[in-house]
Amino acid sequence: MKHQGKCAVEEPQIIIDVGDGAAIPKPSDKGLVSAWRLSFAGALLVLGYLLVFHPDPYLRIFKFIPDGILITFQVTVCSIALALVFGLITGLGRISRNKYVNLVASTYVEIVRGVPLLVQLFYIYYALGRIVHVPDLLAAVLSMSVCYGAYMGEVFRAGILAIPTGQTEAARSLGFSRTQTMYYVVLPQAWRTILPPVGNEFIALLKDTSLVSILGVADLLRRGREFASESFLYFETFTMVAVVYLIITLVLSKLVSIMEERLSHHVKR
């Protein structure tokens, strides 16, 4: 097609496959003995076995950690919401035709990708701490969302670029502005391609929230460590913590795959 001539000035399309997709079961896995089912059943069995046959210490541990699970959930949900906002802004910034907006967004991504999350956590916590006193929980959520916002920005960017230019041209030719085109035509379609990698990011984020225990946030891992350091039952405690994380992660990945299926239900390209 000869209109592609103008691609000379456009960036080449890069499809980023974020995550190896291990966590989210594909719809085609249905009916099979899938890895997901095996892990989920296994995790529940182990949990049940430990609680029923070794209530001491496992039941004690199990009663000790729910506070932590709640905190882990709070950090995860808040971070996801904020990271989505950061991600969308970054993704739009990365494809912006405005040089400066583009530069700012790209720099943000480069910096965040170049610094380990753990270091970012410390940095935001202590750097912010010099100016204002930030509650631990807020510092944790901020760091997580700043970091994951950058990653999600790349996912959004790839998802938006994956929508054929014909869609944009059709919308523009009807009289939609650039912003309206993005909002009414491109993003609703991009969302479908974006969801699987974003889902993977959700799951990665959930697991990475365990890092915030370093900041003194009493999340699941922190509660486990508290229990272990009092009781010296390190193996038992961390077995329990690992199993609980696994169950939560598997449930989340199932939810994402259900959402994905719903979204792709009526529209097939």
Partner 1 sequence: MSNDNPIIRITDVSKYFDTVAALTHVSLDIGQGEKVVIIGPSGSGKSTLLRTINRLEDISTGRIVVDGFDLDDKTVDINKVRMEVGMVFQSFNLFPHKTVLQNLTLAPIKLKGMSEKEADVMARQLLDKVGILEKADVFPAKLSGGQQQRVAIARALAMSPKIMLFDEPTSALDPEMIGEVLDVMVKLAREGMTMVCVTHEMGFAREVADRIVFMDEGQILEIATPAQFYTNPQHPRTQKFLEQIL
Nearest to 199 by CA among 108, 68, 84: 84
Which lies closer to partner 1 via its Cβ, residue 1 or residue 132? 1
Q: Which is nearer to partner 1, 7 or 251 (CB)?
A: 7
CB of 45 to partner 1, least distance (A): 42
Alpha-carbon dihedral angle through residues 55, 56, 59, 63, given to the nearest 10 degrees: 160
By CB under 8 A, name the one of 102, 167, 210, 239 that touches partner 1.
167
Residue 265 within binding range of partner 1, rule CB under 8 A: no
Q: How far apart are CA 155 and CA 56, in angstroms?
A: 46
Query: Per rule CB under 8 A, is residue 261 in the interface with partner 1?
Result: no
- Residue 22 — φ and ψ, nearest 5°? -65, -30
Q: Please, are residues 240 and 50 in contact by the beta-carbon 8 Å criterion?
A: yes
Q: DSSP readout, 65-128? A: SHHHHHHHHHHHHHHHHHHHHHHHHHHHHHT-SSHHHHHHHHHHHHHHHHS-HHHHHHHHHHHH
CB nearer to partner 1: give 63 or 99. Answer: 99
Q: Among 124-132, 150-158, 171-179, 194-202, which window interacts with partner 1 (CB under 8 A)?
A: 171-179
**Near partner 1 by CB under 8 A: residue from 34, 39, 189, 210:** 189
Helix orientation angle between 66-94 and 136-161, rounded to the nearest 10 degrees: 40
When the beta carbons of 155 and 171 are compared against partner 1, the nearer one is 171
User: Considering the rule CB under 8 A, would residue 12 count as an interface residue with partner 1?
Assistant: no
Stretch that binds partner 1, among 53-61, 73-81, 136-144, 176-184 (CB under 8 A): 176-184
Closest listed residue to residue 13, CA positions, set 136, 193, 252: 193
Q: Identify the burial level of 55 via C-beta atoms within 10 angstroms of its C-beta, where 0-12 means exposed, 13-18 middle and 19 or more buried.
A: exposed
Site for partner 1 in 146-165 (CB under 8 A): 164
Closest contact distance (angstroms) between CB of 185 and partner 1 is 6
Min dist. Cβ of residue 194 to partner 1 (A): 13
In the complex, the residues that contact partner 1 under the rule CB under 8 A are 1-3, 5-6, 8-9, 164, 166-167, 169-177, 180, 184-185, 188-189, 192, 266-269
